Amino acid sequence: MDKNFSLTAVLLALLASLLLHANASAQALPDSLGQSMLIKNTIVAVNHGNLTGNYTVLRDLASERFQKKNTASDLAATFTNLRKKKMDLSPILVTEPQLTQHPAEDKFRGRLQLIGYFPTQPQAVQFNLIFQHVKGGWMIDEISVAIAPVKPVAPK
């Protein structure tokens, strides 16, 4: 009987721990304003890297996994085409991002994916960003940024 009680107690403690973790993850998901700030901060860091050729700040804003995978030189190589276009991405600061998919949360791994674009002119700034929840905050974990022509919206 004591073994069953001990096993039950361990299972209940494990279940309680999992529920608390899931609840903490759910509470940590940023609202739309927080998501906008994450997106804008990331794109601005890319823009600063493009302007200066120095991507250390972008790298420093990222998760440990991202940092292990990417040196500042790797990031410079990744964004070479974007940098060569000499596009000023700062108009995103006064434009709201448009999400093209619902935010995708991976609660098990503590990640959040945001996909969309900024309807800036003459080119839209497209993004696919994944953030890792780290110590109460969100760090860049994967990043893709592109420039594309704005597609006209058909009248309703």
Each residue's pLDDT tens digit, 85-138: 888 899 999 999 999 999 999 988 899 999 999 999 888 999 999 999 998 899
**Amino acid code (one letter) for 96:** E
> What CATH number belongs to 31-149?
3.10.450.630
Domain ranges for the chain: 1-30, 31-149
Lowest model confidence (mean pLDDT) among 24-28, 42-46, 51-55, 146-150: 24-28
> What's the pTM?
0.78
